[in-house]
Amino acid sequence: MLDAARELPCQHCGAQDGTVVAAHSNQLRDGKGRGLKAHDYRIASLCYRCHSELDQGTRMGKAERLEMWEDAHRKTIGLFFERGVIGLL
């Protein structure tokens, strides 16, 4: 899934500029902790600019960051299903 996430456009701004990565959730409920990334299934395809704004930016409040990431995550997982990256048993 991490490799597949890099092949998608940014699920926030639509960029396809070669900087898209699997941006992990920053939420404790998703396994994030001091020195730990969230689970690999809690990712969103985000470009460098959007990922940086999400993690270190100052333009959004906490609720806006969560909403941005959750929206991008839903879109990413939806595209994974559509493209057969993940599927139902």
pLDDT per residue over 5-62, tens digit each? Answer: 999 999 999 999 999 999 998 876 666 767 778 888 899 999 999 999 998 988 999 8
- Given a contact cutoff of 8 angstroms between Cβ atoms, the answer to whether 47 and 10 are in contact is yes
Distance, in Å, from the CA atom of 13 to the CA atom of 30, rounded to the nearest integer, reads: 23
For residue 66 the two structure tokens come to 């969560």
The type of residue at 41 is Y
Write down the pTM of the prediction.
0.89
Smallest Cα–Cα separation from 11: which of 47, 53, 54?
47
d(CA 38, CA 41): 8
